[in-house]
Chain A
Amino acid sequence: MTSIETQVNQPYKYGWVTDIDADTVPAGLNEDVIRMISEKKGEPEFMLDWRLKAFRHWSTMVEPTWANVKYEPIDYQSIAYYSAPKPKKQLTSLDEVDPALLETFEKLGIPISERKRLAGVAVDAVFDSVSVATTFREELDKHGVIFCPFSEAVREHPEIVKKYLGTVVPTNDNFFAALNSAVFTDGSFCYVPKGVRCPLELSTYFRINSAGTGQFERTLIIAEEGAYVSYLEGCSAPMRDENQLHAAVVELVALDNAQIKYSTVQNWYPGDKEGKGGIYNFVTKRGKALKNAKISWTQVETGSAITWKYPSCILQGDNSIGEFYSVAVTNNRQQADTGTKMIHLGKNTRSTIVSKGISAGRSQNTYRGQVKVMKGAENARNYSQCDSMLIGDQCGAHTFPYIDVRNSTTTMEHEASTSKVGEDQIFYCQQRGLSAEDAVSMIVNGFCKEVFRELPMEFAVEAQKLLGISLEGSVG
Chain B
Amino acid sequence: MIEISNLHASVEGAEILKGINLRVNAGQVHAIMGPNGSGKSTLAQVLAGHPAYDVTEGSVTFEGQDLLDMSPEDRAVGGLFMAFQYPVAIRGITNAYFLRSAVNSLRKSRGEEELDTLDFLDVLDEKLRVIGWDDSLMNRPVNEGFSGGEKKRNEILQLAVLEPKLAILDETDSGLDIDALKIVADAVNKLRTPDNATIVVTHYQRLLNYIQPDFVHVLAGGRIVKSGGKELALELEEKGYDWLTGEPAEAAGVSQ
Contact = CB atoms under 8 A, between A and B. Distances in A.
Interface string A1-30: 101000000000000000000000000000
B71 A432 contact: no
A428 interface: yes
Interface residues of A, number: 25
B71 A419 contact: no
Interface in A420-464: 423-425, 427-436, 438, 442-443, 445-450
Nearest to A476: B51
A424 B90 CA distance: 11
Nearest to A387: B91
Contacts, number: 77
A1 B50 CA distance: 13
Given A423-B51, A427-B72, A446-B141, A432 B102 contact: yes
A438 B48 contact: no
Contacts of B33: none
B76 A1 contact: no
B71 A430 contact: yes
Contacts of A432: 76, 98, 102, 105, 158, 162
Contact of B77 (A425, A433, A448, A449): A433
Contact of A434 (B50, B82, B91, B105): B105
A433 B48 contact: no
Contacts of B162: 432-433
Contacts of A1: 71
A419 B91 contact: yes
A431 B91 contact: no
A443 B93 contact: yes
A438 B51 CA distance: 17
Nearest to B141: A446
Nearest to A432: B102
A438 B98 CA distance: 11
A447 B144 CA distance: 12
Contacts of B14: none
Contact of B51 (A427, A443, A449): A427
Interface of B: 48-52, 71-73, 75-77, 81-82, 84, 87-88, 90-93, 98, 101-103, 105-106, 109, 141, 158, 162
6 contacts: A423-B51, A427-B51, A428-B90, A433-B102, A445-B93, A449-B92
